[in-house]
Amino acid sequence: MTSLDQYRLLGRSGLRISPLALGTMTFGTEWGWGADADEARRIFDLYVDRGGNLIDTSVNYTNGASERLVGQFARDKRDRLVLATKFTMARDPGNPNSGGNHRLNMVRSVEQSLRQLETDRIDLLYLHAWDATTQPDEVMRGLDDLVRTGKVLYVGICNTPAWRIAQLQTIADLRGWSPFVALQIEYNLVERTVEHELIPLAASLGLGVLPWSPLGGGVLTGKYSRADLRDSQERAVGTTRASIIASSGLLNERSLDAAETVRAVAWELGATSSQVAIAWTLANPAITAPVIGARTLEQAEDNFGAVAISLSPEQMARLDQATAPDPIFPGRFLRRPMVEQLIFGGATVARRG
C-alpha cells in the first residue's frame, strides 16, 4: 500500500474506503484552535486529489462549522465521497434531549447533519458514545429505521464498551436490522488497552476499525518533553489543545519513552515521527483506516505520507515492546501454563483468537 487510492472494504460491508480517513474536527475556528475555511479547503482538496474518499465529521464539531465546510467542499464531487458523521453529543446546551442516543436526538441530529452537509444522505452514521441511559433495542431499531428511509446507508459505533457493542450487534442480527460495519476507537502506541477486547470483538463481528488520535494527541510526534510533564500538572482543563492533552492522561513518562522509540525508527527510515506512528497502526491487520486530522496543509501532507512507510519486523517489534499493554483477566488467567494444560490436556491446539 503506497497511496490513498488503494481501497479497503469497510468491515462486513461492500463499501470501499481509503486506508486513511480525513478527520475534520479541526475544520473551523469556533473552538479556538482549528483551521480556517481556506486552510481547511486546501487540506480537503489535497486528500481528495490523492484519491482519498472517506470524510469523517460530527454534527457538533466546531459547533456545526465542520459539517458546513465539508458540505461546501464536497458539493461538486458528492458521489465520489463517503461522508461519515456522528450523533450523540448535545446540539443545544441546556436542552437534555439535544444529546444522547435516544430516537429523538438521533433523528433530529440526522436532520441537522443533512442540512449542514447539504446532502440527501449520510453514507456512514456513527453513534458517537454510549450514553448509559437509552435501551439497546431503541438504538438499533432507530438506526435501522433511518437506513430504511434512505437517509442513512451504513451505521457504526464509537467509544462504547465491548460487551455493549456485542449486545447491540447481536440484537441487530437476530432481528434483521442494520448491523454496525465500523468501530471508531482511540488507538495508538500509547493507548493500546483496546487490544484486549474491542479490537478482537471488531474482527469477530465484522466491524472495520477506524482509530482516532493515531498520534496520541500529538505526543507521538515528539512535540512534548519532560518539561511538559511538570506543566501538565498545573494546567487546568480547558478548550486549548495544550489543556486537552494535559487532561487526557496520555502525557506521561511512558508515552514520552514511546515517542523516543518512534523518533529513533523515523530517523532510520528517513521519515517523520508522525508517519511512523500512523504506519504502526496501519500495519495491524485489524485496522481499516486511521482517522487523520490536521490543522495545516503541512501537517496533512506529512500525515498522508504514512501510507508509503514500510516498517521492518524488527522495527515493529521495538515499537510493540515499547508500549505493550499488561494482560488483564481473564486473558491473563487463561494463558497460564497450568490452565492451558487443564483445558487442552497437554495437546497443541491452533487458536482462533
Catalytic residue among 47, 61, 126, 187: 61
Taken in order 91, 93, 97, 100, is the CA torsion positive or negative?
A: positive
Least Cα distance to 223 among 295, 169, 154 occurs for 295
What number of other Cβ atoms are within 10 A of residue 98's Cβ? 17
Active site annotation includes 47: no
Residue with cell string 502525557: 251
Taken as a whole, the chain contains a residue count of 353
Contacts of 272 (CB under 8 A, 6+ apart): 221, 266, 302, 305
Cβ contact 69:116 at 8 Å: no
Q: Which residues contact 95 (CB under 8 A, 6 or more apart)?
A: none
Which positions are annotated as active-site residues? 61
